Structures are given as structure tokens and as C-alpha cells.
Amino acid sequence: MFPNSILGRPPFTPNHQQHNFFALSPTLYSHQQLIDAQFNFQNADLSRAVSLQQLTYGNISPIQTSTSPLFRGRKRLSDEKNLPLDGKRQRFHSPHQEPTVINQIVPLSGERRYSMPPLFHTHYVPDIVRCVPPFREISFLEPREITLPEAKDKLSQQILELFETCQQQISDLKKKELCRTQLQREIQLLFPQSRLFLVGSSLNGFGTRSSDGDLCLVVKEEPVNQKTEARHILTLVHKHFCTRLCGYIERPQLIRAKVPIVKFRDKVSCVEFDLNVNNIVGIRNTFLLRTYAYLENRVRPLVLVIKKWASHHDINDASRGTLNSYSLVLMVLHYLQTLPEPILPSLQKIYPESFSPAIQLHLVHQAPCNVPPYLSKNESSLGDLLLGFLKYYATEFDWNSQMISVREAKAIPRPDGIEWRNKYICVEEPFDGTNTARAVHEKQKFDMIKDQFLKSWHRLKNKRDLNSVLPLRAAIQKR
């Protein structure tokens, strides 16, 4: 991740870089091609090209499903009409295709010095029959082992122990990546040149063992109308999940939100997923946040404990009018940037060429390679930083007139646009400038959030025990 430093290495070795997943620029889909995708869904005929095989995820046993009926041309056997959904069309694999191979690098049991093992390589053998463009290797930013901060007090020790117990493990990430790989192959039956990206907390370094998986389906590297085009694409994907993949996917739901998604649960990995279409800013901010996550060794433990604290106090749920996890992460980064002796800089100000919103999507993953480690003179402990975070938002930050900006590394005046007017919390999205905390639109919920910052700060300041604001046993059980 950071060349020639103790914090990592470039994400790709030269002999593999030309095959990288991101190096394949997505095809631009026209309206006619969307119609063709619907035709593909209705008339997919794979009987002469592929054979049905059981799906396997590493060493996990496959789900047993009934055998799918044969297909002849574009007409199905008449008996198929009477079959249950899970017997109609299961996942197909080309006979030319080899199983996904995962690099079996895992942390040593009981090892406490390191915060996260290297990420994995996924080797994909191109499916000749389906003419999917080959990508030999996916290697997402492999940070070397990073020494965790030293805990000299009880509160800091509690934060570290919670982090080490609950942080996302390599095995958790493997499950999500394997599901992504399988789903991409299926979705490419509808949109052959599309790409499915794993984004959000699963990849940005701030995931926990219980984190859901976020997926972004990219059909073209330009905005799509989320109310019309994205919904149409997701309708086809949802229908595909319901009819042909119901043996592996359960509870698929099409949610018609501002950014529509398909929610579902993968039966093999038991992971909940949210899938959107062309929410490209989510890919960009995944790599920006990942760079921040590994820039300083106190960042990830602090973010994890604050997310757990917010969830415990019911202020971490955008669907109920409180803060989403992305806004919480930006709030932590902003706080670390605004200390008298900052722990984090603004990466977008120092390295504008690496984190510009104009960078082509297939080059976004390369940005962290250009960022050297950041050495701060601030030696505050994790316990002191947690206390300072609560105090900052309880007593110092001006909610009425200021906006949280990680891009500028400071609190800036609220814009006068309609999106910012009459909003209780304003957190700037670093790339598209929208308000990530727009879900907080009720004064009652805003007052509850402020009140929780203030109460927790007072309790923690008096007791210096994490259990006073976050029962550790309950937090660890949720992972």
C-alpha cells in the first residue's frame, strides 16, 4: 500500500498488473443494450455450453439442490413448469473453469502484535464459453503487518482488546469475495461486460466480523439515473436472483430508495449483502478510507470502538433517522485531523492527483501506492483519543453553522444549498460533496445523538472504564 515503508507495498506485482480487475474499463451500456439484457434474462440458453455443478466455497460444504432439467434450444421441457423455483436454474459453471484459489495466509493464533493479515489473491480462470474478459488476479492493497499501538492504561487496553476480537478476519473477507466472484459470473449473463465491486467496510479497513457486504454493480463509468435506469437494472438482477439462484440466495428484496439496492443473504457464507448499481462514489471513497485506515495505527481501533459505542446506544442506524457508519467514520477522521497536533492530514489536499474525483474508475485502486506513511508528533493514547472524540462533538463542534469536512481537514461553514438547509448534522462526502448524514432529519433524533455524546463523555471521564459506556461482553458477543 505504501511503497518502501513499513506500512505496506504496492497492490500489484508488475507481471500481474495488466490482468487486474480494475484495469478493465467497463463497457458503456446504451438503452438498447439494457433491452438486450432483459432479452438475455428471458432467453438465456446455456445447455450446450455449461454443465451444472455444486457450488463450493473453500472448505465449506456445498448446498444440496435438486438437479436442474435439461434445456433444448429456447424451449424448456414441459415438466419444468411444475418444478419448484430452486429446481429450475441453479448456478452454472463452465467445464473449462477451475475453482477459485485463495492464498492461505492467516494470522497466527494468539498473535496480538498485528492488526490485520495481508489480504488475499483470487485467481480466476476465464470462462471461454461465456467470453468473459480474463482477469488473472485480484490483489486489493496488501498492507504488511502493522504494529498496534501500545496500551499503557486500562481504557486503551480495553479498546485494543475489543478491536482485536471484533475486527474483520481474513476468513470473513474470503467468504464475501467468493460470493462476489460467483455473483459476478451470474450477473454477466445479463450484462456481459459488467463488473461487481466489493466496497464499503468489508474492504476499507473498518469492517467487523458482523459487517454486511456492500456490492456495487458497474455497468458503465458514468452516472446512471437511479430512479429509472438503476431500478430497471436491479429489477432484472432481482428477478435473476429469485428465479435462478434461489438455492443459494435467500430473502432478495428490491429496495426503492434514493439509491436503490437489492438486499439478500447468501446461504453459503451466511453474509447479508446490499447491491447497488453504479454508485461509483462508493468505490472511490472505499479506497480513500482504506488509505486513512492504514496511515496511522490508532485509526482503526478508534473507529471500531466508536462504531460499537454508537450501535449500542442506538445512534448508528440511518433507517431510523440516526447516523450511518460511513458518517461516523468521517466524523472520527475529521476529529483526528483537527487536533492541535493532527494525527491525520487531508489526503485530498496533499495528494490531489491521487484522490481526484476525475480519476478513471479502473485507476482508483492505484492511488494509495503514491501515499507515504504519515508520522504524527501526537502521542495520545487510544483512551485519550476516545475521550477527546466524545468531548469534541459534545461541547466543541458547532452543529448549527459548521460542516464536517475530511476533504478540507477542518470544520467549514455550511453551504447555502437546499441539501444543507435545515439539516441537523452536515457531513461532507469527500468526493461528490453531498451530505452523508442527511438521514438525521428529526430534531428528536438529533437531540438524542448529542445527548449521548455528552453523557458518555462525562461517564468515561469519571470512570476511565469502557464498560461504563459500552458493555464489553455484549459488544464482543455481537462481534
Average confidence (pLDDT) over 196-219: 95
The region of weakest confidence among 52-56, 299-303, 353-357 is: 52-56
In this predicted structure, what is the pLDDT of residue 217?
A: 97
The arithmetic mean of pLDDT across residues 85-106, rounded, is 33
Q: What mean pLDDT value characterizes the chain?
A: 77
Q: What are the two backbone dihedrals, phi and then psi, of residue 167, each rounded to the nearest 5 degrees? A: -65, 150
Average pLDDT on 82-105 reads 34
How many whole angstroms separate alpha carbon 176 and alpha carbon 197? 11
Mean pLDDT of 121-146: 36
Mean pLDDT of 364-389: 90
pLDDT at site 477 = 80
Q: What is the pLDDT of residues 407-449, one digit of tens each?
A: 999 999 999 888 888 899 999 999 999 999 999 999 999 999 9
| pLDDT one-digit tens code per residue, 264-274 | 999 988 999 99
Provide mean pLDDT across the span 178-188: 94
| pLDDT(19) > 90 | no
The reported pLDDT for the residue numbered 143 is 54
DSSP-derived pairing of the beta strands 213-218 and 271-277: parallel
Selected residue with higher pLDDT from 415 and 323 = 323
All structural domains of the chain, each given as residue ranges with its CATH number in brackets, are 168-279 (3.30.460.10), 283-477 (1.10.1410.10)
pTM over 0.85: no
Distance CA 264, CA 103 (A): 27
Output the pLDDT for position 419: 82
* 324-357 tens-digit pLDDT: 999 999 999 999 999 999 999 999 999 998 999 8
pLDDT beyond 70 at 65: no
Check residue 31 and give its pLDDT.
57
More confidently predicted of 366 and 72: 366
Grid coordinates representing 164 are: 482485536
Query: Would you state the pLDDT for residue 371?
Result: 86
Comparing 130 with 457, which gets the higher pLDDT? 457
pLDDT for 82 beyond 50: no
Q: Which residue has the cell 457508519?
A: 325
Q: What is the pLDDT of residue 34?
A: 59
Burial of 322 (0-12, 13-18, 19+ CB in 10 A): buried
Residue 426, CA atoms < 13 Å, CB-side half-sphere? 25
Cell numbers for 95: 467445464
User: Taking a C-beta distance cutoff of 8 angstroms, is the pair 140, 11 a contact?
Assistant: yes
